[in-house]
Amino acid sequence: MLNNVKVVLVGTSHSGNIGSAARAMKVMGLHNLVLVDPNCEVDEQALALAAGAADIAENATIVNTLNEAVADCSLVVGSSARSRTLEWPMLEPRECGQKFVQEGQTSPVALVFGRERTGLTNEELQICHYHVCIPANPEYSSLNLAMAVQTLSYEIRMAYLDREQSQYTEEPQPEYPRHKELDLFFEHLNKVAVDTQFISQDQPGKVMNKLRRLFNRARPEAQELNILRGILSAIEKKISDK
Section 47-55 average pLDDT: 95
Cβ atoms 130, 89 nearer than 8 A: yes
- Percent of the chain surpassing pLDDT 90: 73
**pLDDT tens string 181-190:** 999 999 999 9
What CATH class has 179-241? mainly alpha
**pLDDT tens string 127-149:** 999 999 999 898 888 889 999 99
What's the distance, Cα to Cα, between the start and end of the chain in Å? Answer: 51
Fold match between domain 2-167 and domain 179-241: no
Cβ atoms 28, 132 nearer than 8 A: no
- Sign, CA torsion 35/104/176/152: negative
Average pLDDT, the chain: 91
Residue 181 amino acid letter? E
pTM of the model: 0.82
Q: What is the CATH number of domain 2-167?
A: 3.40.1280.10
Give CA–CA dist 85/222, Å, rounded. 30
